[in-house]
Chain A
Amino acid sequence: MTDDRKNLSCAAFQAQLPELIGSGENVAAHPHFQSCELCRALLADLETIAEAARQLFPIVEPPDELWEQIESAIKNEDGRTDSGPTGQD
């Protein structure tokens, strides 16, 4: 019995990729993937990009003035008058 999936064109295989990847299927086990160097290279790049992106963004400190603006807006909303952040950081 032959596996028709092996005879898929690259375009047809890649049309299925969002679903294959998004549903967590083992794309590496797909017959087309195993026989196609171009699609293996594509997948390798996409995985590299996703991994690099996860490590890319640092946690950033907002400017100190932002709390003052928020506090001011809160006071405008409910008339509260109280102190600022307590330095729990």
Chain B
Amino acid sequence: MAPQVPDSPPAPIASAVSSHAVEADALTRAQAGDHQAFAQLYSLHKRRIYSLCLRMVGNIAAAEDLTQEAFLQLHRKIATFRGDSAFSTWLHRLAVNVVLMHLRRKGLQVISLDEAMEPAAEERPGRNFGAPDLTLAGTIDRLALQRAIDNLPAGYRIIFVLHDIEGYEHNEIASMLDCSIGNSKSQLHKARLKLRDALRGFPRKEERR
């Protein structure tokens, strides 16, 4: 006799529905001041928020501090969440803002308007920036790329992480960083160029001397 097949959705779908229901329930209770429910939200989102912080600052100790600050802010503000976006989206944005505030306090100049408006001065004509025998040819060493991203200047890294890894659009980044959309595009492009140079062992000269 064939085994009984339970009449239920495939496991991943069932799991997603269940996870969503758990979060919705925990959120409602946490908004009403239930500390246990807040702990539940932490457990549900801690990995994503910690990983985000780690990517943005590239430093474990700082990522831990910022994750703590993000959840403290969440605790303070959770009652103000109205469901205009998904909770995870709202929390993610809150954490990004915490990291950006931290970097600003440290004096990070995320954006230099002068630099961004300079028409790619670093791309001097005649430079051998793309000879076919030197291209990355679709193969990138993961450790080398990780190291190259970690070594990006903070301003470049932030925009690269927000756009290429976290999936934010330029208009969202411009809003978060209080810069123009063109500026965001320009900085992202420069970040990618710096990564390319790093991966090819070719340090890019400073833009303007």
List residues 65-84 of chain A with CB under 8 A from any CB of chain B.
66-67, 69-71, 73-74, 77, 80, 82-84
Q: Which of B9-17, B82-90, B184-192 is found at the contact surface with chain A?
A: B184-192
- Using a CB–CB cutoff of 8 Å, the interface residues on chain A facing chain B are 9-11, 14-15, 17-19, 21-23, 37-42, 44-46, 48-50, 52-54, 56-63, 66-67, 69-71, 73-74, 77, 80, 82-89
**Contact indicator A57/B55 (Cβ below 8 Å):** yes
Q: Which residue of B131, B182, B196 is within 8 Å of A46 (Cβ)? A: B196
**Contact indicator A52/B145 (Cβ below 8 Å):** yes
A37 to chain B, nearest CB (A): 6
**Residues of chain B with a CB closer than 8 A to A84's CB:** 39
**Residues of chain A with a CB closer than 8 A to B124's CB:** 11
The 0/1 profile, CB within 8 Å of A marked 1, for residues 60-86 of chain B is 000110011001100110000000000
List residues 22-77 of chain B with CB under 8 A from any CB of chain A.
22, 26, 35-36, 38-40, 42-44, 46-48, 50-51, 54-55, 63-64, 67-68, 71-72, 75-76
**Residues of chain B with a CB closer than 8 A to A10's CB:** 123, 125, 129
Interface size band for B: 35 or more
A72 to chain B, nearest CB (A): 10
**Contact indicator A54/B193 (Cβ below 8 Å):** no
**Contact indicator B40/A85 (Cβ below 8 Å):** yes
The 0/1 profile, CB within 8 Å of A marked 1, for residues 136-169 of chain B is 1010101001100100000000001000110000
B181 to chain A, nearest CB (A): 8
**Contact indicator A48/B138 (Cβ below 8 Å):** yes
Alpha-carbon distance A38/B136, docked complex (angstroms): 13
A62 touching B46 in the complex, CB below 8 Å, given contacts A10-B125, A74-B75, A82-B36: yes
